[in-house]
Amino acid sequence: MTSRTVSVGNRRALRTLLSATAETVNAANAFRPLTRRGYPAIAVFAFGWPTAENVPLVVGGSALSALRHAVRGDYRSAGGRIALLLKVTSWLVLAVVHRRGVRSRPYFEDPLNEVLGPAFPSVPPRPGGVFATGQTRRRYVEKTVSYGPYRSNVADIWVRPDLPRDGKAPVLLQVPGGAWMIGMNRPQAYPLMSQLADHGWICVSIGYRISPKHAWPAHIVDVKRALAWVKDNIAEYGGDPNSVYITGGSAGGHLCSLAALTPNNPAYQPGFEDADTSVAGAVPIYGRYDWVTESYPDRREFGSVLERMIVKLPFTDNRQLYLDASPIAHVRPDAPPFFVLHGTHDTLIPVEEAREFVEALRAVSTAPVIYAEIPAAQHAFDIFGSARGHYTASAVERFLDWARATRPE
């Protein structure tokens, strides 16, 4: 055996060991976030979120990799055996992660049970996984329309092909997340919108102006503009303009909450001040509700992003602008019903922020405020066709059906 062969074998063994170590660290991060502080929390989310919600795919890929290494004989050395042990350990950890997700349904349903009662029973989750969810847009999107003057003012209309066009279908406006700087409405909320569309709802999934090109409040103005468009035009697709609800995740959770709590506010409706932008209910998911507080560990980083990229004005000289952008500052007695969802392992938006928002809204609102806190769920837990994604869809549909049925005429 030549020295070159030995050198190549050593390098390969080292790569195998490093790869297995990385998989184990990633599994541990999916089980419990490695950190929730500062900018490293973004990387923790980026790796932990898709792993936790797609465990079968991750383990399947890892198993195929292990088989290839075994065929090559990479596990014959001491380092190779350690690498194999690490891989197996990561699979066991991920099995626990997957089991937690599969068994999380009561955390979505129990808060609804306390308020809705037996008259509005649970909605069975749709079958299917990640790939089945990804095909739903082709099945349900009837048309992509422009709802405003800007290039980003586009909306996908999700509607079942055989839906009656009698103008009686309830409507859900979906506001995408993306830190106010991405705003891609695809593929966000596909499990939810496909389930609702299949059950007779019309869903309108919008894009909107984003930063840093556009400064705040362009984002909320576009959401309001979309609501105005829905009220004026959704009847031609079979929708009821008097039965419009709103949802969104992350930045979309912030925007949908703010829109629901500031109906017909002329400050956010320039040029269409007289348009009706009220909604009959709101479902913010892992949203941001406070742009002012300094109570959370990520406040400095979040505030810096707002000042440099989103608002583009210093906080110290423009505190009222930041306060006005905070849904928690607009809680009101006549707020529509709210269903707030958040995960305890969220590394991008602290779960404490959702708790404080719910507490503040419950203190003044005469309508129900339901809060589902999902143990061990990361940010964006509803996007994939995972167990949590389908549980979210079922719980949200149940809430919306109740809100629609009990809404005063």
Question: For residue 73, with 0-12 CB atoms within 10 Å meaning exposed, 13-18 middle and 19 or more buried, which class applies?
Answer: exposed
Matching residue, tokens 């009959």: 280
Nearest residue to 164 (alpha-carbon basis) of 205, 200, 199: 200
Across 71-153, the runs of DSSP E, i.e. the strands, are 141-146
Integer Cα distance of 141 and 205 in angstroms: 10
List, by residue number, the catalytic residues. 250, 346, 379
* Eight-state DSSP code of residue 366: S
Per the structure block, which two tokens stand in for 213?
């090109």
Integer Cα distance of 26 and 7 in angstroms: 28
Question: CA angle, corner 198, sides to 197 and 200, nearest 5?
Answer: 65
Across 215-306, the runs of DSSP E, i.e. the strands, are 239-249, 282-285
DSSP β-ladder status, 154-158 and 141-146: antiparallel
Annotate 123-132 with b (16+ C-beta within 10 A) or e (fewer).
bebbebbbee
Distances, alpha carbon 23 to alpha carbons 16, 31, 36, 61, 62, in Å: 11, 12, 20, 11, 8
Integer Cα distance of 383 and 311 in angstroms: 27
In the sheet with 154-158, reading across from the earlier edge strand, the strands are: 141-146, 154-158, 202-206, 169-175, 239-249, 282-285, 338-343, 369-374
Integer Cα distance of 372 and 110 in angstroms: 8
